Chain A
Amino acid sequence: SQKIEQNSEALNIQEGKTATLTCNYTNYSPAYLQWYRQDPGRGPVFLLLIRENEKEKRKERLKVTFDTTLKQSLFHITASQPADSATYLCALAKGGSQGNLIFGKGTKLSVKP
């Protein structure tokens, strides 16, 4: 069966360090992968999309990589700040219907000052 795993439920790091979150999947060949941020009591907010033919995407302090051989995406936040503390969700396009996303369970990131 198709599976997405975000390896850490929680990640604690010191302010200024780089946070690296992992998303692994099995039995998929997704056309693209997305990362979302979710704060408590709020809906997810889109951060980045990376397509199957792209290796890396950047946006300000954020960087996403996509390795279709390893079936893995890494999400990096450089120079992390306490305001980056949130739950980060990866989502894969299931294929077929547009927008049919399968979400991972998320990694809760805490950045300590």
Chain B
Amino acid sequence: EAQVTQNPRYLITVTGKKLTVTCSQNMNHEYMSWYRQDPGLGLRQIYYSMNVEVTDKGDVPEGYKVSRKEKRNFPLILESPSPNQTSLYFCASSPTLGESYNSPLHFGNGTRLTVT
């Protein structure tokens, strides 16, 4: 089954404790992206990746890191989480321009992160 898998689904942590949210897709998509969703602000892009070893900042990259060492994986790293990073996070993927720019995004089920 074609899917984007995020782990964990729920995470409660304390300020400053490094964490990683994993994202994996099995559709051989080049493009992957991370979003956060907050009430009243909607979905905002954190980072995106056009292909292996190619990543770039989205609209709200501060406090986050990503890596793309393999095509299928795109982990989101919070080196020193703070309470303002409490949010619902989504990973998404799609074929890139070369195949079809007008392909819809495929989303994971989300990770609800609480930083106390």
Q: Are these two chains actual partners, yes or no?
A: no
